[in-house]
Amino acid sequence: MAIIVNEKTIFVIQGITGKQGRIHASHSLEYGCKLVGGVTPGKGGETVGNLPVFNTVQEAIDSCGPIDASMVLVPPFGVKESVLEAIDCGIETIIPITEHVPVKDTMIIREHAMANQCRIIGPNTIGVISPGLSKIGIMPGFLYSQGRVGIVSRSGTLTHEVASCLSRKGVGQSTCVGIGGDPIPGSSFTDILELFKDDSETCCVILVGEIGGAGEEMAAEYLKSVNYSKPVVAFIAGSTAPEKKKMGHAGAIVSGNAGTASSKRNALESAGVKVAKGLEELLNITADIVANEVK
């Protein structure tokens, strides 16, 4: 069944005429996605490949019909206006890929999205892929394979690594979601775990966290509160990062004893999550879960 994105998902790219927009429009079409056009103010009437370009999201809807999602590939200070426009046009899922979006802009986006029942994935994300069905994101599709393991991660690189290594073991994925590495994500670990809980084609979930923030601890509280029925396996990156230093992402900053690898590990283990010490252990635990489920 997959979550968020499937073979029926129709989407546009906001910022399609930029370098990254053109590249990922081409990659989306190569993957078989239902990308129907793009939006760049002032460039309506142009084309990118065979895709039409519109001045506004509403023009795209008027021309192409109902649109389920948007991938946003615009510069950081243009993300807020682009996302708010898509929300106001009734787009249900918006995935701003852009990094370095001002935190205050993300807060405004989140508030407006919640008020309009819109799902935001990102910013600073690789996006979402349901292997073999569709993707709205910048991940190399060939690294992923179709199967029954869900992945939710703050790190795009680690998502690629985990999925590709699982695929080499013959273990496919149902959907892989990069929630992004910023301090305030549009969707949290808890939000995505909730979606996986109700997905009949996901048999277990991998949670890839990192130091900084409280998202992993909040996910642990959620897992305990609902008595989560599916196995969850986790890995927390950054256990060897220098104290009080950020690691890679803007959200990977540890303050005092909060947000440390050990605090996250302890919280998740208290919720019944198997927390791997390294990626190899993570892969082996997951492969065993899938193998036992098949039996």
Q: Measure the CA dihedral 280/261/265/98, to 10°.
A: -80
Indicate which residue of 27, 112, 160, 249 is catalytic: 249
C-alpha distances in Å from residue 72, one per residue of 25, 57, 60, 85? 11, 11, 14, 11
* Residue 75 preceded by cis peptide, ω within 30: no
- Using CA atoms in the order 171, 160, 123, 79, what is the torsion angle rounded to 10 degrees? -120
Residue that the structure tokens 């249900």 belong to: 92
A 10 A CB-CB count for 126 gives 25
Name the phi and psi angles at 256, rounded to 5: 60, -135
Active-site residue 249, yes or no? yes
Residues with a catalytic annotation lie at 249
